[in-house]
């Protein structure tokens, strides 16, 4: 049933209609930029988004580039299209959008914030566009996990983000052995709630998580990834749990099986590439050392909230699944810990306790079961 059902053009069109009409609320005359790759799944999804955008009276443009990895650069024509400042941006990629060569070397700056990609600058800096990005999406994932109750998801995200915004620190444990504490004081929680209808809003499709960047150098303890993890070779289901020691916010010893070895080599490659980028003037002078250091940084704690998501070896969906949380190694979302990588890893059945300024605490997830709804 799976492939026949999810490859049905009618089903993809229905899901695309939800994205265009309910998630982004695209209006007549709005300019929509769709960036994709030649692979079949993302092409089908992109064409469906294009066709539905035409139906609502928008002006879409569809642009193809070869598949990109974490360390590749986007095509110059893609960056030029982004610089046209479209109202809506869809990055429907088989892997990644690609890095922005010009912005890496000469970042955009607003106040004390630097933006190393035009995409982030338009969304989070200038806030003139709204966006969706779908790294690694398949037609099966798109159709299964898009048509959900967004009002319910929005309410869950609102409650959870409010709790995290009031917290000063968080402790995460799990049956596999995770035992990590981190500060979130002064940080803001982000909602990937499927409401991308206004300028400056954006997130994944499928939607369904609340995430926050830990305060710099605050993570302390141990993470045991036992669901799936994004590596240099792509997302893999974890056979042997990966144990990562974390000291003052940075990854130290990594142990486990084959997946742990690949994680180590992925981080090592990002560290080395940071200096190469600076030597090639793809990074500004002095940035190589910063990017190298942050390749081991813990950049995100996220909590999955999409009831239709499953852990199947695709991080785009895996990190949204109920009864999970995830941590990312590499860059964060507050633009103060830039790195060439952002490697999400899933922890199953976590217990998550938040602590508040007045000394009280609250368990928001208990052995994978959310306790606040």
Using CA atoms, how far apart are residues 126 and 119, in angstroms rounded to an integer?
Answer: 10
Tokens (6 digits) for 151: 């009002």
Give me the mean pLDDT over the 265-274 stretch.
96
pLDDT of residue 352: 98
Residue 218 has pLDDT above 50, yes or no: yes
Give me the mean pLDDT over the 283-295 stretch.
95
Give me the mean pLDDT over the 110-139 stretch.
95
Neighbours of 245 (CB within 10 A): 14
* DSSP letter, residue 306: B
Give me the mean pLDDT over the 343-366 stretch.
98
Confidence of residue 2 (pLDDT cuts 50, 70, 90): very low
* DSSP letter, residue 309: -
Domains and their CATH numbers in the chain? 2-140 (3.40.1830), 148-370 (no CATH)
Confidence of residue 291 (pLDDT cuts 50, 70, 90): very high
Nearest to 150 by CA among 40, 307, 299, 315: 307
Residues 26 and 56: beta-carbon distance below 8 Å? yes
Using CA atoms, how far apart are residues 180 and 224, in angstroms rounded to an integer?
Answer: 10
The share of the chain scoring above pLDDT 70, in percent, equals 98
pLDDT of residue 112: 86
- Mean per-residue pLDDT over the chain, rounded: 95
Residue 59 has pLDDT above 90, yes or no: yes
pLDDT of residue 4: 46
pLDDT of residue 252: 98
In angstroms, what CA-CA distances link 124 with 110, 139, 225, 280, 370? 10, 28, 30, 28, 30
């Amino acid at each position: 049933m799976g492939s026949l059902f999810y490859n049905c053009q009618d089903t993809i069109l229905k899901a695309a209609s939800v994205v265009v009409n309910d998630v982004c609320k695209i209006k007549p005359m709005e300019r929509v930029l769709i960036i994709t790759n030649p692979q079949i799944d993302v092409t089908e999804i992109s064409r469906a988004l294009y066709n539905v955008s035409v139906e609502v009276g928008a002006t879409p443009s569809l642009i193809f580039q070869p598949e990109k990895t974490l360390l590749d650069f986007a095509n110059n024509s893609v960056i030029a299209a982004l610089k046209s400042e479209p109202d809506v941006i869809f990055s429907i990629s088989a892997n990644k959008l690609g890095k922005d060569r010009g912005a890496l070397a000469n970042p955009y700056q607003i106040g004390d914030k630097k933006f190393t990609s035009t995409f982030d600058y338009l969304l989070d800096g200038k806030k003139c566009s709204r966006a969706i990005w779908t790294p690694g999406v398949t037609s099966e994932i798109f159709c299964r996990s898009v048509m959900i109750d967004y009002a319910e998801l929005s309410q869950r995200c609102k409650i959870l983000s409010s709790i995290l915004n009031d917290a000063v620190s968080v402790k995460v444990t799990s049956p596999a052995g995770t035992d990590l504490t981190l500060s979130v004081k002064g940080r803001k929680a982000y909602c990937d709630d499927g409401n991308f209808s206004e300028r400056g809003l954006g997130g994944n499709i499928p939607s369904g998580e609340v995430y926050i960047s830990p305060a710099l150098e605050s993570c302390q303890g141990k993470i045991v990834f036992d669901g799936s993890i994004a590596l240099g070779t792509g997302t893999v289901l974890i056979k042997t749990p990966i144990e990562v020691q974390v000291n003052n916010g940075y990854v130290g010893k990594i142990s486990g099986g084959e997946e742990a070895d690949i994680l180590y080599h992925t981080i090592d490659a990002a560290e080395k590439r940071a200096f190469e980028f600076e030597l090639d003037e793809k990074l500004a002078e002095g940035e190589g050392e910063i990017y190298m250091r942050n390749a081991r940084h813990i950049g995100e704690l996220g909590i999955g909230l999409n009831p239709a998501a499953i852990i199947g070896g695709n991080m785009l969906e895996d990190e949204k699944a109920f009864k999970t949380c995830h941590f990312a190694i590499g860059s964060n979302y507050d633009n103060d810990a830039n790195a060439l990588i952002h490697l999400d890893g899933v922890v199953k059945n976590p217990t998550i306790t938040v602590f508040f300024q007045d000394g009280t605490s609250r368990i928001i997830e208990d052995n994978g079961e959310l306790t606040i709804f």
